[in-house]
Amino acid sequence: MLTILGPTATGKTALAARLAYELNGEVISADSRQVYRRMNIGTGKDYDDYVVDGAKIPYHLIDIVDPGYEYNIFEYQKDFLKVYHDIIQRKKLPVLCGGSGMYLEAVLKGYQLAKAESDDAFFASLKDKTDTELIEILKSFTTPHNITDFEDRPRILKAIRIVRASRGTKNELNHHFPQIRSTIIGIDYPRGLVKARITKRLEYRLEHGMITEVEQLLASGITPERLMKYGLEYKFVTLYLTGKISRADLLSELNIAIRQFAKRQMTWFRRMEKQGLKIHWIDGRMPVEKKVNEIRTHFFI
């Protein structure tokens, strides 16, 4: 397998699609939000990137569930393996592409997870505990994979449920999620350039339908509280539409938040390297064709 990763606004999809075109491959998304239908502009689904020299590059794990559904990492692993084996059986190359650190790690490191089942007695005992106490309980089970596990009470409880379900099942699950060998390519830009790309892309999306997209999602019955959990774009646009922030604040605050998110993504990728995953970083400023040649020549056989 070939993996393309990097922070937001670095051109991952275009590069992955071009590589799939050149190497007889298909793209598997590793994006925790692009799984949702009707959430296109805010999640950055660049469908046009999947057309290379007139050819439509097959992509997977995009638009597979409806907004409002709580898709999770366990389901992602299951869906990934189904797609991965299908691509391999057809003698094509899987190209994993995304920036969601936990989804990438779930595949590249082979998280051993079990489906989270309810444990009424145990969770009833957590009812009166504070969020701080719940976080300590989560830490007592494991080192959390994702800092977003701490964002709110439902996420903390969900993380506890998953890790409880997975305890003691590693041997049983090893054969269910195989160790997959992958060449990992990271797209690297100078930080200042990433910031500029984020700003330019955000301004374009705000002017070309992102606000309307959020209005339609709200009109479809998704509550503001639920919608704001689907990432920064949906959070801040919802705040704007509900009168909590001004139009000017929407652009400035969302821009800052996305830049901070990109920085956290890079921190995650550096941690992946420290834990043993080799990432080959290439200069994002090169044209796509030159990136492809660089990867084929030096990193991928």
Contacts of 107 (CB under 8 A, 6+ apart): 30, 77, 80, 96, 180
What are the boundaries of each domain within the chain? Answer: 2-111+177-298, 113-176
pLDDT lower than 70: segments of the chain: 114-121, 140-151, 164-175, 301
Just give the CATH number of 2-111+177-298: 3.40.50.300
Helix H or strand E segment including 262: helix 247-274
152 is written with which tokens?
Answer: 């709110």
Per-residue model confidence (pLDDT) at position 101:
93
Beta strand spans in the chain (E): 2-5, 25-29, 51-52, 55-56, 59-60, 93-98, 183-188, 279-283
Per-residue model confidence (pLDDT) at position 175:
39
Per-residue model confidence (pLDDT) at position 117:
54
Per-residue model confidence (pLDDT) at position 142:
55
C-alpha–C-alpha distance, residues 104 and 81, integer Å: 13
**CB 280, CB 183: distance < 8 Å:** yes
Per-residue model confidence (pLDDT) at position 51:
98
